[in-house]
Structure 1
Amino acid sequence: MTTREQVLDAARDVANHLALDALERDRANAEPFTEAELLRKAGLPSVLLPASIGGAGLPWSVALEVVREIARTDGSIAQLIAYHYVNAHNLVWVADDAGRARWGVPSVANQWLWGDSVNPVDPDLRLARDGEDWVLSGTKNFSTGASVGDVTLVGGLTDDGRDLLVLVPRETPGFVKGGDWDNLGQRLSASGSVRFDDVRITPDAVLGSASSSGAFGSLVTPSIQAAFGHFYLGVTRGALEAASEYTRTTSRPWLLSDVEKAVEDPYVLATYGRLVARLRAAEALGRSVGESLSQAHARGADLTWAERGEVAEEIAALKVVSSDLAVEATSAIYEVTGARATANKHGFDRFWRNVRTHTLHDPVQYKAREVGNHFLTGAHPDFTLYT
């Protein structure tokens, strides 16, 4: 039996391994095939999948801890595993028993990573009928993990307006990866474009529809937003840990400080203190979110829309707090390390670049609005693939 402690030990081992050359890999901006294999060998892809198909069947709180742990040293690979957890969990949210077994058993046995091509604000993909099959066509500008994933979850629209989730194995003819992800941060997240040139989708590759799977299936959005929050918390802690090591070993006290070491400077101490205090509070909220989300998943088909809404609002609060803290803290570390810390050889900028890039996924102000609206009126936001 796989336990929470075993999974977190494996995640820490992966994080420590990734830390050895995190900066060099970030600058290389290569497709993360080696890193994906590291996740597979650690057994992390099957953490959430149910025991009925061979998975560990652990709660969502554990998966979120895995994301946070890996994000300490490599934000890109934390994004890969976070998106995988959400994509693969559509086997639980959306698929029927036959689909769950058909795709879940090999997914667990081979520790498959699932890529993502579902972004609802990206150009739509079309599914046209051809006998019993579907033909998938179109382009997605952003498709995290598709180039290195074993399968990719794809959201397409049919001619009669239905939205379907289908699975496309990596080497499927007509599935073209752009290899064009070259952004400020998250450089190894394999988030480039993909194109589907009349890809044939057989009936057994259709999982179902997220929009018609009820309150339980709608947990897809709170789950990915919870993963985002834990990702930001992990990067923040990683940035503070890296900065603190530099402050202890390399930073020099300011000439007007009247102290011998940077770690004795009252302003340095106060800056670290405020950031660490806020991080500890945000991490406590993150743990509460993990428990709430786990309980919501345990409700299964009995989950009500009101219960789902309460969980979504708590997660929205985490998104607001963790986003603001991550962007601020990853910049503020330079104030407690000093001018020499800006040397490219240290690479402290990668923490800020990663959170600055990913926090733009969806505007955090809309999450703040949701929290405020719920506080004042008790309202829950309508379900979308962003809320």
Structure 2
Amino acid sequence: MPTTTSTIIRPSADEQRRALLRTARDVADDLAADAIARDQAGGPPADETSRLREAGLLAALTPPGQGHGTDWRTGCAVIQEIAAADSSVGDVLAHHYVHTWSGRFYARHQHASALEAESTREHWLWTGAVRAPAPTENPGGPDLVLTPRGDGYVLGGRRSVDTAVAVADQLVVDAVCTRSGDILVVRIPSGARGLTVEPAHDRLGQRVAGAGTAVLDRVAVTAGQVLGHRPHDDESTAPFTALAEPALRLALCHVGLGVAEGALTEARDISRSTRTDRRPGEDPDLLLAYGELASAAQTATAVVDRATRVMAQALDTGAHLDAEEPAAVAALVATAEAVTSKAALHITARVLELVDAPGLDRFWRNARVLTARRPAAHRLRSIGEHYLNGRHRAMAPFR
């Protein structure tokens, strides 16, 4: 009898991308169903993390590699989808995705690949706060220090973290070595002895993001937990490492777009269902208002999409990145931040004037907290710096 061989047909990259986005939409629908109640309750995002983990989003949102990971543009699309339903969870996912790139930004690629594979296998949630190089260090001294001990170090100090500090599996921070003065980027597993968390209570917005302060008291750090060096200044920063800080800022632009999209969609649905005295399509003032807001959202989307495409190209280039490219990428990201922040604040405030519904204010509160992290003046100065002088200056800590 003739023998037959079975061929395993693997889904194409495009099919995998569509499947991941479908999963993200399903998770977003689930999060939207109780978003108001969870916002009112606050608390660490333990349940939300479980939803992301069970759906496979934590494993999927790692850098693309052999048999695992997600490309930059798809990862940002997933973040925006989740953020439109609950920007706190989008915030968590944005920090997770960017911090899973830490091995590539700061470490040897071989070490990074093994770490990414383990993260995918274990469905780890990442967070952290790595400072951007600055012209002058904190005059009061570093907030985190590494003291050599045996083959490793002991880590001590405090660091503010914007998301999931109490529930993350891996915490990425930078600290100054007391012996060499080098700034090392390290990862701290959850449950490490000496690691405690002080939650940030009564936040105006992003109440479920899980912000807080990591307190590290003589935490043991092995040589394997050291991801690499963080340069002291821009001049000594390798081109690919220079993408770390703008990558997080760009991922948060997608969170901001999600906030604007979620607010506009919810307001539209309310307008459609409650205006029984006059059809929305017949009210010229309402049409004008929604036309203005939709245009603002679409403009911000176009600017962010351009920055996302350029960032994706830079990340794909990797170690061969030209020395001048990171400054151009960072300038585009700063522009995206400026446009997105303005649109998110305007849209989320304006919808409160158009409709009156419980919980709609959460979009404005969330947008306010997101945009307050980096003042608009800093972004505009950075854009001007690049436009006039062809340089980009780091604006804020990488968190």
TM-score under structure 2 normalisation?
0.88
Give the equivalent residue in structure 1 for 2:226. 206
Give the equivalent residue in structure 2 for 1:194. 214
Instruction: Tell me how far 1:101 sits from its aligned partner.
Output: 4.4
Query: AA paired with 2:212?
Result: G
In structure 2, the CA distance between the partners of 1:332 and 1:252, relative to structure 1 (3 Å rule), is farther
- Quick check: 2:175–2:183 contact (8 Å CA) kept in 1? yes
Equivalent of 1:48 in 47, 62, 68: 62
Equivalent of 1:349 in 341, 350, 361: 361
Q: Does 2:354 align with 1:336?
A: yes
Query: AA paired with 1:49?
Result: P
Q: Does 2:310 align with 1:310?
A: no
Give the equivalent residue in structure 2 for 1:322. 340
CA distance in 1, matches of 2:286, 2:115: 52
Q: Does 2:248 align with 1:229?
A: no
Q: Deviations over 1:44-69 (max 9, x none)?
A: 223332323x423x321111111111
TM-score under structure 1 normalisation?
0.90
Give the equivalent residue in structure 2 for 1:14. 27
Equivalent of 1:293 in 290, 304, 311: 311
Equivalent of 1:379 in 381, 390, 393: 390
- Quick check: 1:181–1:190 contact (8 Å CA) kept in 2? no
Instruction: Tell me how far 1:98 sits from its aligned partner.
Output: 4.8
Query: AA paired with 1:177?
Result: V
Query: AA paired with 1:311?
Result: V
User: How many residues are matched?
Assistant: 372
Instruction: Tell me how far 1:229 sits from its aligned partner.
Output: 1.2
Equivalent of 2:379 in 350, 367, 384: 367
CA distance in 1, matches of 2:78, 2:348: 21
- Quick check: 1:117–1:146 contact (8 Å CA) kept in 2? no
Equivalent of 1:182 in 202, 224, 232: 202
Q: The residue matched to 1:116 in structure 2 has which SS?
A: strand
Identify unmatched segments of 5+ residues in structure 2.
1-10
Counterpart mapping for 1:62-141 below 5 A? 62-119=74-131, 124-141=143-160
- Quick check: 1:142–1:191 contact (8 Å CA) kept in 2? yes
- Quick check: 1:87–1:153 contact (8 Å CA) kept in 2? yes
Equivalent of 1:168 in 188, 203, 211: 188
CA distance in 2, matches of 1:183, 1:35: 18
Q: The residue matched to 1:278 in structure 2 has which SS?
A: helix
Give the equivalent residue in structure 1 for 2:239. 215
Q: The residue matched to 1:273 in structure 2 has which SS?
A: helix
In structure 2, the CA distance between the partners of 1:237 and 1:361, relative to structure 1 (3 Å rule), is same
Q: Give the percent of matched residue pairs that are identical in Structure 1 and Structure 2.
A: 32
Q: Deviations over 1:357-378 (max 9, x none)?
A: 1111111221112223433x24
Identify unmatched segments of 5+ residues in structure 1.
254-259
Query: AA paired with 1:334?
Result: L
Give the equivalent residue in structure 2 for 1:31. 44
Q: The residue matched to 2:157 in structure 1 has which SS?
A: strand
Q: Deviations over 1:20-56 (max 9, x none)?
A: 100000111121111111112222223332323x423
CA distance in 1, matches of 2:390, 2:181: 28
Instruction: Tell me how far 1:214 sits from its aligned partner.
Output: 0.4
Q: The residue matched to 1:176 in structure 2 has which SS?
A: strand
